[in-house]
Amino acid sequence: MTGFGARLAGAVSAHGPLCAGIDPHPALLAQWGLTDDADGLARFADACLAGFGGAVAIVKPQSAFFERHGAAGVGVLERLLAGFAETATLTLLDAKRGDIGSTMDGYADAYLRIGALLGADALTVSPYLGFGSLEPALVAAAEAGRGLFVLARTSNPEGASVQLATLDGRSVAQSVVDAAAARNAGSPPGAGDVGVVVGGTREHGLDLAALNGPVLVPGLGAQGAGPADVVSRFAGTSGPVLPAAARSVLAAGPDPAALRGAALALGEELTSARAGSH
């Protein structure tokens, strides 16, 4: 079984680093002329699958926008993940799960175990009940060849009071990065399975050189970070940097061809910015 880190490295090499967000929030459903119900959600998901499948390295469905439609919405998410599994595009489910003990075991079963119906190639998780609380998720992900992206330095202003607090002379966010790096020790260069989430809209102040895994960088496009910002702020990172954009790409919908074109154009901007930095 090929691990997530190695699969991701191959996908980025083939399709570039862009992570296309799939965020079917009510305003976007309306913009696409779709109803704010499970039927409109399914049409949205089908367009994203047709547009992004095989065109980008990885997509990031936001679980909340599917969950808000209840069981039918979760069913759409399940079908979407299964659809992408038939393409060359990886999936990162943005659910930010984090809990303790048997509850974390339950989340690991739901999203990460072998055969999980809501299993994506990777899952976002929160370490802010202590990095050790993620152990069930780390074990299940490793057994199934999946990846994790652990929240480290998020872009919301409320996060600073926790993430920038100091612990043993380093920020809590840096301690999260270091714990992820320890899990990636021994992996091939840059191909660790445990990544971190670091917002791209401002300087993050983290040392990512030893991570040996991927960094998910939300904030590209509508949130204000440009390709050059991402390149400069994440220079020296030891694994793939995945700038994530949702609204700026999804605005091209609902036509799948237009979605694909918008994603490819933004991917080319990222590639050009990276080339121009060398």
DSSP for 116-152 reads -TT--SEEEE--TT-GGGGHHHHHHHHHHT-EEEEEE
What is the mean pLDDT of the segment spanning 34-52? 98
- Expressed in angstroms, the distance from the first to the final Cα of the chain is 35
Q: Are 194 and 180 in contact (CB under 8 A)?
A: yes
Q: How far is CA 272 from the centre of its chain?
A: 22
Asked whether residue 80 is assigned to any structural domain, the reply reads yes
Q: How many domains does one find in the chain?
A: 1
Asked whether residue 276 is assigned to any structural domain, the reply reads no
Asked whether residue 203 is assigned to any structural domain, the reply reads yes
Which is more confidently placed, 41 or 230? 41
**Position 222 confidence tier, pLDDT thresholds 50, 70, 90:** low
Asked whether residue 275 is assigned to any structural domain, the reply reads no
Q: How far is CA 266 from the centre of its chain?
A: 17
Q: How far is CA 78 from the centre of its chain?
A: 17
pLDDT at 34 over 90: yes
Strand 215-218, strand 194-198: pairing:
parallel
pTM score above 0.85:
yes
pLDDT at 277 over 80: no
Asked whether residue 278 is assigned to any structural domain, the reply reads no
**Position 278 confidence tier, pLDDT thresholds 50, 70, 90:** low
Work out the number of other CB atoms within 10 angstroms of the CB of residue 230: 24
What is d(CA 113, CA 141) in angstroms, rounded to the nearest whole number? 7
Q: H helices of the chain, where?
A: 4-15, 26-31, 38-52, 63-67, 70-84, 101-111, 135-144, 160-163, 172-184, 227-233, 247-250, 256-276
Domain of residue 9 covers 4-270
Asked whether residue 254 is assigned to any structural domain, the reply reads yes
Active site residue 60: no
The per-residue pLDDT for 159 is 94
pLDDT at 22 over 90: yes
The CA distances from residue 140 to 54, 111, 147, 193, 198, in Å, are 27, 9, 10, 12, 23
Asked whether residue 277 is assigned to any structural domain, the reply reads no
The per-residue pLDDT for 186 is 92
What is d(CA 162, CA 67) in angstroms, rounded to the nearest whole number? 27
**Of 15, 69, 96, 260, catalytic:** 96
- CATH at residue 190: 3.20.20.70
User: How confident is the model over 114-171, as pLDDT tens digits?
Assistant: 999 999 999 999 999 999 999 999 999 999 999 999 999 998 889 999 999 998 899 9
Asked whether residue 40 is assigned to any structural domain, the reply reads yes
Work out the number of other CB atoms within 10 angstroms of the CB of residue 147: 26
